[in-house]
Structure 1
Amino acid sequence: MDFFAESQYVKGIRLKRDCIPSFYTFPFNLPSIQTLDELTFHPNVTYLVGENGMGKSTLLEAIAVAAGFNPEGGSFNFSFSTYDSHSELDHHIRLIKGVEKPQDGFFLRAETFYNVASNIEELDSEPMGGGKVIDSFGGVSLHQQSHGESFWATFMNRFRGNGIYIMDEPEAALSPLRQLSMLARIHELVRDHSQFIIATHSPIIMAYPNAKIIEFTEDGIQESSLEETGHYKIMKQFFEDKNRLLHHLLDE
């Protein structure tokens, strides 16, 4: 069921191929970018999946920056920069936006989440009127929690609904149980007029019903079902015949 198909915030992206300087340099040399013209997103949840190096996180970062987020993560009003390492891909894509604008949003990426937590500490150390930034993240310093707990606190407290939420490999900080709980929370937020675009390796996280799964491979980009993804197949093979697979991998 599509909860708000007519008012989704980002309908898709289009690659401005005529403006690309060269398809032989990064990130334009990635097969996923070389074959890209346009991608259409699901109004509720879209997953970008694939092996390491296929370009899913690079494209996700470009989508986030083009949508107005800080490359290292945070909400729309985060503007810090620890290390300027993001690609120029965001200059070469065009977001296809819906009619409505999101009232909330967050770019949550495991790789640079520590930097977001540090920036919150810096902001709250400066005298200012009103409450502290950390109050909207649960009120407890993110640096005084484990990586997984701080990540979870952000997801549960800072994601308020009526928003666009972009997440890069959230499973890196979450146990399998928390990943299942994340699906329940995603469902709550979807019903509260939210849209998710998520890059992930986790078959658990990519199991949200009726979501769109876009798989990145050496041959380019293709839409897939959960059961057809390489991630699901390898996990299924492992759990169905663990001993045989381990014997093959470890046999000297």
Structure 2
Amino acid sequence: MLIERAYVDLPEGEGTAEDGWPWTVPCVRQLAEEGLTFRAPVTFLVGENGSGKSTLAEALAEAFGLDSYGGSAGYKYASSREPSELGALLRFDPTYAGRRMIRGPRTRRRGFFLRAETALDALSREQQTQRLSQSPVEMSHGEGFLLAFRERFAQPGLYVMDEPEAALSFSSCLQLVGLMDELRAVGAQVVCATHSPLLTALPGAEIVEVGEHGMRSVEWAELGLVDHWRRYMADPRAYLRHVLTG
């Protein structure tokens, strides 16, 4: 692991909850008040759309020095965007292994930020800078993701993913689970925002559920998305009758 805790370094006397977005998002407010402790090399952020999990993932990537547009650490090439308000204020308590990366120059940092909505363009830029062996535009979306996983997710560093399952089949998701397991074995750290019950089943990973309650650590079997998928697969009509008009 590289990071033991993330916290917000607010200027003295400034509030959060009354200051508008993102501070009004419950999980961000809790992060500002309490911080977020990482207890495992792989952490999943799970919640409904709008719960703030992607906001957290992006801020963690920015604070580590990953481009918020997506791509590798140590080389800002894809976007001239300034860090988000949360990302600019986020700080880390690093482990011994992480201290050299975080406190050293940007070129020492290792990792990758993969976000579903900008992945194709970010991966194309990786290929243009000869960091990928093939062009993702000549592959399917999912194949491009798998290429990045094989070639850019291979050493100790921070790997932040925002809904990577969006482009992946069932078998490809299983390959990603195997990759996450390999990454933690070499000392890397993974933070993944996801809706996938398949990914979150990785043994030994910590699952942080975000929502109106803020953030809380839960077991896989306790996740609402796991319960809903089980019920849906057992009887799709129990759900579909509420949304179909026929």
1:84 corresponding residue in structure 2: 81
Determine the C-alpha separation between the residues in 2 that align with 1:16 and 1:63: 13
Residue 118 of structure 2 aligns to which amino acid in structure 1?
T
Residue 36 of structure 2 aligns to which amino acid in structure 1?
L
Q: Does 1:239 align with 2:236?
A: no
Measured after TM superposition, the shift of residue 191 of structure 1 is: 1.5
Identity %: 35
Pick the aligned partner of 1:188 from 182, 190, 206.
182
1:158 corresponding residue in structure 2: 152
What do the CA deviations read for 1:31-86 (whole angstroms, capped 9, x no partner)?
11123311111332101110011111111111111111111111113313447386
Normalising by structure 1, we get a TM-score of 0.84
**Is the Cα contact below 8 Å between 2:159 and 2:191 reproduced in 1?**
yes
1:5 corresponding residue in structure 2: none
**Is the Cα contact below 8 Å between 1:9 and 1:97 reproduced in 2?**
yes
Number of residue pairs the alignment of both structures matches: 233
What do the CA deviations read for 1:145-197 (whole angstroms, capped 9, x no partner)?
11111111001111112222111110011011110111112212221222111
Gaps of 5+ in 2: 102-108
**Is the Cα contact below 8 Å between 2:78 and 2:122 reproduced in 1?**
no
2:9 corresponding residue in structure 1: 16
Q: Does 1:69 align with 2:59?
A: no
Q: Does 1:28 align with 2:35?
A: no
Q: Against the structure 1 CA distance between its residues 100 and 82, is the aligned structure 2 distance closer, same or farther, given a 3 Å change threshold?
A: closer
Residue 16 of structure 1 aligns to which amino acid in structure 2?
D
Determine the C-alpha separation between the residues in 2 that align with 1:52 and 1:28: 17
2:56 aligned counterpart, secondary structure: helix
**Is the Cα contact below 8 Å between 1:27 and 1:87 reproduced in 2?**
no
Determine the C-alpha separation between the residues in 1 that align with 2:119 and 2:177: 20
2:243 aligned counterpart, secondary structure: helix
Q: Against the structure 1 CA distance between its residues 194 and 22, is the aligned structure 2 distance closer, same or farther, given a 3 Å change threshold?
A: closer
Q: Against the structure 1 CA distance between its residues 146 and 33, is the aligned structure 2 distance closer, same or farther, given a 3 Å change threshold?
A: same
Structure 1 segment 26-65 matched on structure 2, within 5 A: 26-36=21-31, 37-65=34-62
Determine the C-alpha separation between the residues in 2 that align with 1:60 and 1:107: 9
Residue 93 of structure 1 aligns to which amino acid in structure 2?
L
Pick the aligned partner of 1:100 from 97, 100, 104.
97
Residue 59 of structure 2 aligns to which amino acid in structure 1?
A
1:143 corresponding residue in structure 2: 137
**Is the Cα contact below 8 Å between 1:12 and 1:95 reproduced in 2?**
yes
1:203 aligned counterpart, secondary structure: coil
Q: Against the structure 1 CA distance between its residues 40 and 22, is the aligned structure 2 distance closer, same or farther, given a 3 Å change threshold?
A: closer
1:35 aligned counterpart, secondary structure: helix
2:144 aligned counterpart, secondary structure: helix
1:113 corresponding residue in structure 2: 119
**Is the Cα contact below 8 Å between 1:72 and 1:115 reproduced in 2?**
no
Pick the aligned partner of 1:214 from 208, 222, 226.
208
Normalising by structure 2, we get a TM-score of 0.86
Determine the C-alpha separation between the residues in 1 that align with 2:178 and 2:124: 29
1:26 aligned counterpart, secondary structure: coil
Determine the C-alpha separation between the residues in 1 that align with 2:118 and 2:158: 19
1:127 corresponding residue in structure 2: none
Determine the C-alpha separation between the residues in 2 that align with 1:104 and 1:92: 21
Pick the aligned partner of 2:172 from 157, 178, 185.
178
Runs of 4+ in 1 over 2 A off after TM superposition: 15-24, 80-87, 101-104, 117-121, 247-252
